[in-house]
Structure 1
Amino acid sequence: MANINTVTIREVKSKADRTAFVDLPFRLYENDPNWVPPLKYEVHGLITPGKNPWFEHGEAQLFLAEASGREVGRISAHIDFLALTQPVEQGMGPGTGNWGLLEAETQEVASALIARAEDWLRAKKMTRVLAPLSISIWDEPGLLTKGFDHPPTVMMGHNSPDYQPWIEGAGYAPVKTLLTYEIPITKEFPPLVQRIVKSGERNPRIVIRRVDKSNFKAEAALILNILNDAWSDNWGFVPLTDSEIAYVGKKLKDIVYEDLIRIAEVEGKPVAFMMTLPDLNEKLMGYGGSLLPFNWAKLLWWLRAPKVRTMRVPLMGVLKEYQATRLASQLAFMLIEFIRRDAITKYGSTRGEFGWVLDDNKPMRSVGEAIDGVINKVYTIYEKPL
C-alpha cells in the first residue's frame, strides 16, 4: 500500500511509461473475478495520438503515481474541444475539462492523482470538471456505482467499489447516472409489445432490414449519421467526426453480424437503427489482455460463428423528426424483436443488455421497462467546479 508522503506523480512521456499505464490494472484487479482484462493493444490505441482520431479535436495528458519504486496509480486529464462548443444545458460547454482512466491503490493515491489532473485542467483555463470519462463520452463514461457482482459486457467499464467514496471525498457531486438494463430474451415480450410489433409488420410503409456488410463502410456512416442526429439533444452529447465514424466502423467490423444490426426504413428512408454486439468479454475474460501466442486463432475461430450467452445493445437511435411520434416506439420494439429472434436461434443467446441509458431519458427507459428489463448496472458521472 502507498503512503501519500512517499507518492510522486509524473507525466507519462516514454514508451515504458505508456506500457506501465496500460499494465497497472492487471495487477490491481488480478483477484477481482468480475474484471475483464482488456486487449492491451486496444488500450494503447485509445490513449495514443495518431491512432485514436479523438486527438484530432482533443488534448490529453496521462499521469502515473509511483511509490517505493513501483506504479500505484494512474489518471488521464483531457479536454475535448468539440465538447467546449456544446450547449451548457446539455452538460458540456465552455470551460469543461475531464479526467478518466483512474486507477489507484489507496484513497491517498487517488486524491493526489485527481488533484494533479485538476491542476493540469486549471492551467488550460478550464473552470469545471466532468468525470470520469475514459476518454470521451463515447468510450467508457462514468464510474460503476452499482452492479459489481457480475462482469461488464463488451465496451462497458468496471472499477473498484472503493472509488465512489474516494471521488466524492475529493469534492465531486453526482450530476448524471447512466443505466443498463438486463433483458430476459428467451421469453416472448409482453402482449402489448407483441401487438405493436405485429401491427408494424403489417404496415407496408415500414421495412426492417439487415445491415449490408458487403457495403459496410457506407452502412456504418449511415448508422452513425442517424446516431449524431438522434442523440444531438441528449445530455453529454459530442458529435462524432467523420474520422471517428470511420475509426469506429473499422474497429467494429469483425464483431458485426448482419442479422444483429438492423435499419428501419419508412417509405424507403432510413430513420432508425439498432446495433447489437455479441458479448466479446465472455471470450476475453481468459485471454489476459493479449492475443498472443494463440488467442488470436481462438478468437478468429469463435468469430466465424459465435455462440454467446449475452447480446448487448450499445447504440440505438431514431431521427429527431420522428422521436415525438408513436412510430418511434413502434420502430424501437420492431428492431428489438427482430434481433431478439435471431439472437436466440442463431447465436444461442439467453440474455440481453440494453444501454447505457440516461436516467432522465424517459422514452428509452419506457422501452426498457416495457420489455421486462431490470436495471443491472449504474454508472455515475460527477462534476466539480475548479
Structure 2
Amino acid sequence: MTDLQIIPVTDKHGENDFIELPYRLYQDDPAWVPPLRSDVRELLNRKKNPFFDHARMQLFLAKRGSKVVGRISAHIDDLALAQPPEQGMGPGVGNFGMLEVEDEAAAHALIHAAEEWLRGHGMSRALGPLSLSIWDEPGLLTKGQDHSPTVMMGHHKASYERWVESAGYRPVKQLSTWELDIAQDFPPLIDRIIQSGERSSRIHVRKVDKSKFDEEAGIILNILNDAWSDNWGYVPLTDREIAYAGKKLKPIVKEDLIRIAEVEGRPVAFMMTLPDLNEPLKGMNGSLWPFNWAKLLLWLRNPRVRTMRVPLMGVLKEYQGTRLASQLAFMMIEYIRRASVAHYGATRGEIGWILDDNQGMIAIADAIESRVNRVYTVYEKAL
C-alpha cells in the first residue's frame, strides 16, 4: 500500500487512463452499462462542454506502480457559488465526482487530493459526488446495485458508500428513482381525475412539435427554471447549456413522449420521457465501432424498449401544491404511458430522480403505485 501515488491529470495519456478505468473495474458487473467513451471524453472536454464556461476542474489518478487503481474529479461551479446557501450550494462550496476506485486506501487518498485542490481554491465545504454538475449524474448509488441504471443515471459499487463515509462525509440529500408497471392501467381514482381534466375547456395537454424544436425547448426550459428554482441543489442552466443539451437529446426525443400542459392557452407544466438508451448501449462496451453505430442508428429510428424514464417534470411555482398541478401531472403521465406501451413496447417506467423532501412528487409517485428502486446519496464535509 505504501507505493500509492496520487497524480494530477495533465495530458491526453492521463485523460485516457481516467476514462478507461471503469471498463476494467466493472467488467464483471452485469448491472453496469458501459457509457460511450466518446460521450465521456466530450463531458470532460473544456472546449465542447459549456459547463466549463462557468466551472473549473482538476482530475486525479491513483496509481500503484504503473497500474491505475482509482480516479476522482474536483471542480468548482461559479454559478453554484452564487446560489442561496439554504438550497445546498452557495459560497465556498466545491464538488468532487467521477469517483471510481479499487480499495479504501486509494479512495481516501483521492478524496484527500480533491479536498486539497478545493481548499487551495478557497472552498470551505465539499459536496459530492456530482459528475460533473447537478444536471449530469448527481449522487452516489446507495441502493439498487442489483439492476442496471436507466439513461443518464449512474452506477457505483456498494463499497463506495462505506469508503466515502469513513473519509468523514455525511449524507446531506437523497435522490430516488421510482419504478412502476406501465402495462397496467392506473387506479380508478386516477382515471377519474384524468377524465375530469379532459372535460375542462381550460386544460389542453399536447405533444411537442419537433419541427419547432428550439421553440419547444425554450418553453420547457422556461417552465423548468421556474419550477425548480427553489429546489435543493438547483443551478440555472445557461443558454449554451440548453442548446447543448437539446442537441445531445434530440436523437432520442419522441414527440408523443414529451407533453406540455396548457391552462387557458398558457404553458404551465411539462413532462419529458426518454426511451432507455442504456438498453442498446449495454452490449456495446463503450464503443460504436466497428458496427455498433449502425445498430444504434437503427434503434434510434424505431426504439423498442422495456423501460421509459422520466428525467424531468415541472409545473410553474404559482400552481405548485394545487389540485390542478396534480391533475395535469396525472394527465401527462397517462398520455405518455399509453404511447409508451402502444408505440414502443414498453412495460416499465422509471420516474426520477426525486428529492427526498419533494412531497408533491412523492405523493404522485405513490398514487400511481410506483416504488423506490434506486437511491443516490449526496454527501458533504467541511474543509
Q: Which amino acid aligns with 2:145?
A: F
Q: Which residue of 1 aligns with 2:309?
A: 312
Aligned residues: CA RMSD:
0.7
Runs of 4 or more consecutive aligned structure 1 residues displaced over 3 Å after TM superposition: none
Q: 1:165 aligns with which of 162, 166, 172?
A: 162
Contact 1:311 1:349 in 2 (8 A): yes
Answer yes or no: is 1:57 the counterpart of 2:38.
no
Q: Which amino acid aligns with 1:84?
A: L
Map 1:1-386 to 2 at 5 A.
3=1, 5-386=2-383
Post-superposition shift, 1:324? 2.8
* Counterpart Cα distance in 1 of 2:320 and 2:214: 26
* Counterpart Cα distance in 1 of 2:221 and 2:43: 19
Post-superposition shift, 1:118? 0.1
Post-superposition shift, 1:218? 1.7
Q: Secondary structure at the match of 1:174?
A: strand
Q: Deviations over 1:88-135 (max 9, x none)?
A: 110111000000000111100000000000000000110001110000
Q: Secondary structure at the match of 2:233?
A: coil
Q: Secondary structure at the match of 1:302?
A: helix
Q: Secondary structure at the match of 1:63?
A: strand
Q: Secondary structure at the match of 1:115?
A: helix
* Counterpart Cα distance in 2 of 1:75 and 1:382: 15
- Between the two proteins, what is the percent identity of the paired residues? 65
* Counterpart Cα distance in 2 of 1:224 and 1:13: 36
* Counterpart Cα distance in 2 of 1:243 and 1:215: 18
* Counterpart Cα distance in 1 of 2:243 and 2:279: 26
The alignment's TM-score, normalised by the length of structure 1, stands at: 0.98
Contact 1:221 1:246 in 2 (8 A): no
* Counterpart Cα distance in 1 of 2:130 and 2:144: 19
* Counterpart Cα distance in 2 of 1:33 and 1:280: 17
* Counterpart Cα distance in 2 of 1:382 and 1:10: 24
* Counterpart Cα distance in 1 of 2:12 and 2:215: 36
Q: Secondary structure at the match of 1:208?
A: strand
* Counterpart Cα distance in 2 of 1:355 and 1:54: 22
Q: Structure 1: which 5+ runs fail to align?
A: none
Contact 1:311 1:351 in 2 (8 A): yes
Contact 1:40 1:290 in 2 (8 A): yes
Contact 1:40 1:289 in 2 (8 A): yes
Aligned length: 383
* Counterpart Cα distance in 2 of 1:117 and 1:225: 35
Q: Deviations over 1:135-184 (max 9, x none)?
A: 00000000000011100000000010010000000000000000110011
Q: Which amino acid aligns with 1:182?
A: E
Q: Which amino acid aligns with 1:50?
A: K
Q: Deviations over 1:338-360 (max 9, x none)?
A: 00000001100000000000001
Q: Deviations over 1:10-42 (max 9, x none)?
A: 111111111111111000000000000001111
Q: Secondary structure at the match of 2:294?
A: helix
Q: Deviations over 1:289-320 (max 9, x none)?
A: 01111111111111111110000000000011
* Counterpart Cα distance in 1 of 2:272 and 2:88: 25
The alignment's TM-score, normalised by the length of structure 2, stands at: 0.99
